Structure 1
Amino acid sequence: MERKEFLKKSLALAGIFTMFSQCKKEDEVTPGTVTDSTDTTTCTVTDNETEGPFPTKSPSTYVRKDITDGKTGLPLTVNVYIKNVNNNCAALENALVDIWHCDTAGNYSEYGGSGMQSTNYTSVHFLRGRQTTDANGLAAFTSIYPGWYSGRAPHIHVHIYNGSGTSLLVTQIAFPEDISSAVYKTTYYTAHGQADTSNASDNIFSDSLDNELATLSGDTTNGYTLTHTIYVKA
C-alpha cells in the first residue's frame, strides 16, 4: 500500500473514532447528575455555611409561607428545592426549611441595639419563616428582595432539618449581582444604596458560589421569583 493511501485510510479511521467518542460523551449520563426543571448540576452536598450572627431564635414558631410581616420592598417569591444525595438526589419530602434575611436597610428582626446592628428589632420577627417540603421537595415563601449590610453580599440564610427535627445542613443563597444592582436603584432601596461587597469578595460565597447562586426571573416592576436547589444527606 502506498504511503499516501495508508495515511488517507488512517485519518478516516481516526475521524470515525473521534465522532464515536464525542457522541458517547454527549449521550452518557454521568452518575449523580441531576437534570430537571429546576436545576442541572452535579449531585453533591451543598456547601455548609455559618448561621451568621442573626439566626431565628425559635424557628418552629414561624410556620408560615408569607414572611414579609409588614416589611415593604420589591416582591420576591422564594422557591427552595431540597434533594437527597443519599437517594440518588431524589426530592426530599417533609423536610423542614427555615429561611431568614435582612430588610431593605440591612437589618434583621429579633436583634439590635448593639454595635452590630444599632436599630433595635428585638421584639419583632419579620422576614423569617418555616415551611415543610412537598412531594417535589419544594418549600415556597413570599418575601421581599433582601437588602445588604456592610461586608456581605446580598443573601438568604437557610437551615434544613429532617422531619424529626434533626439538622441536615445550614447554608446561604447568593443573588446575581446584575439583578441586585438593578433592584437597589428602585424606590425601596435607594436610601441604602448599592451593596459594598461583591459575591467574589464575600467571605462566604468567594469559594462556593457555584452551588449557592440562585436563579432569578422577573423584573424591577413586578418583582422576582427565586429558584434554588439545595442538596443534603438525609
Structure 2
Amino acid sequence: MDRKHFLKKGLFGLGSIIALPSVISSCSKDDNVDSSNNPGSDCTVSPTETKGPFPIQTPAQYVRASIIGDRTGIPLLMTLTIQDKSNGCTPLANVLVDVWQCDKDGLYSQYTTQTNANYLRGRQATDTNGQVSFISIFPGWYPGRAPHIHVEILTSGGTSLLVTQIAFPVSTYMSVYGTDGYNGTPDTSNTQDSIFSNSLNGNMADSITGNNTDGYTLFKTITVA
C-alpha cells in the first residue's frame, strides 16, 4: 500500500479502517526498510528512562491503534518492534505496549488543563512478530525537553518490563516545527536534554521517513532485558 494514501485515508477516515494491523504491515513492507541497518537490531537493551509525570492513568481503557483523538498536527505512523534479549533478541509476542505523548502545543491529556481529555495515549499487544503500530501526530515540545514519545512495555499481566523514550533526528523535528501550527525551534535540543544526555543513540528512532505534507513513518526496535 502507498504510505501517502494510507496516512491521508487513515487520518481522515479512521472509521472505515477495520483490519488496521494488516494494513500497517503492508505499509511497512512498501517502505522497504532494512532492519539490519537499524540501531535497535544490535540486541542492546534499550535505555531505561523516567516515566515522567504523565503516564497513562487507565491504559486498559485505551486499547486502540489510532491515538490522535481530537488533536491536529502532521501525521505520524509509528511501528514498534519489541524483542527479548534473554532469548537471543527474538520478537516478544503478546506483551503490552503503552505509548503517550504531548500534542503539537506541548500539552498532555489527563493533566493540568487537560484532565478530562484522553488524546495521544494508547495501548496494544504485540503480534507474533513482536510488533505494534500506532497512528498519531508528530509531537510538539515543551520547555526543558527535546521532542520525544514515551513507551512502556509490560507483560500481559501488567508487570513493567521497561520504560523508555523515543527521540527524533534534529533535521526532522526542525522541519516539522517550521510549519504552521507548531511552535518553532524547541528551547532544548537532543544533546541538551537531560534525559537523553547519556542515552541518545539508544533512544533515537531507527528510521523516520516522509515529509510535512504526507506525514512521517517511524520505526523503532525496543529491546527488553
From 142, 154, 167, give the equivalent of 1:161.
154
**2:86 corresponds to which residue?**
86
1:99 match: secondary structure? strand
Name the CA shift for 1:37/1:79 in 2 (closer, same or farther; >3 Å). farther
* Runs of 4 or more above 3 Å deviation: 35-38
**2:219 corresponds to which residue?**
227
Report the TM-score, using the length of structure 1 for normalisation: 0.79
Aligned partner letter, 1:195? P
- Residue 216 (structure 2) pairs with residue 216 (structure 1): no
- Once the two structures are TM-superposed, the CA of residue 43 in structure 1 deviates from its matched residue by 1.3
Report the TM-score, using the length of structure 2 for normalisation: 0.82
**2:38 corresponds to which residue?**
39
- 1:1-234 to 2 correspondences below 5 Å: 36=35, 39-40=38-39, 41-112=41-112, 120-189=113-182, 192-214=183-205, 215-233=207-225
Per-residue displacement from partner, 1:116-137 (whole Å, max 9, x unpaired)? xxxx100010000001111111
**Structure 2: distance between partners of 1:180 and 1:173:** 13
1:143 match: secondary structure? strand
Per-residue displacement from partner, 1:208-232 (whole Å, max 9, x unpaired)? 0111100201011101011101000
**Structure 2: distance between partners of 1:182 and 1:229:** 24
Identity within the alignment, %: 51
Contact 1:95 1:132 (C-alpha < 8 Å) held by counterparts: yes
Unaligned runs of 5+ in 2: 1-33
Aligned partner letter, 2:160? S
1:210 match: secondary structure? helix
Aligned partner letter, 1:161? L
Unaligned runs of 5+ in 1: 1-34, 113-119
Q: Whose Rg is larger? A: 1
**Structure 2: distance between partners of 1:53 and 1:213:** 21
The structure with the largest helix share of the pair is 2
**Structure 2: distance between partners of 1:202 and 1:127:** 22
**How many corresponding residue pairs?**
190
1:156 match: secondary structure? strand
**Structure 2: distance between partners of 1:37 and 1:56:** 32
Aligned partner letter, 1:53? P
- Once the two structures are TM-superposed, the CA of residue 38 in structure 1 deviates from its matched residue by 7.2
What is the alpha-carbon root mean square deviation over aligned residues?
A: 1.3
**Structure 2: distance between partners of 1:188 and 1:68:** 16
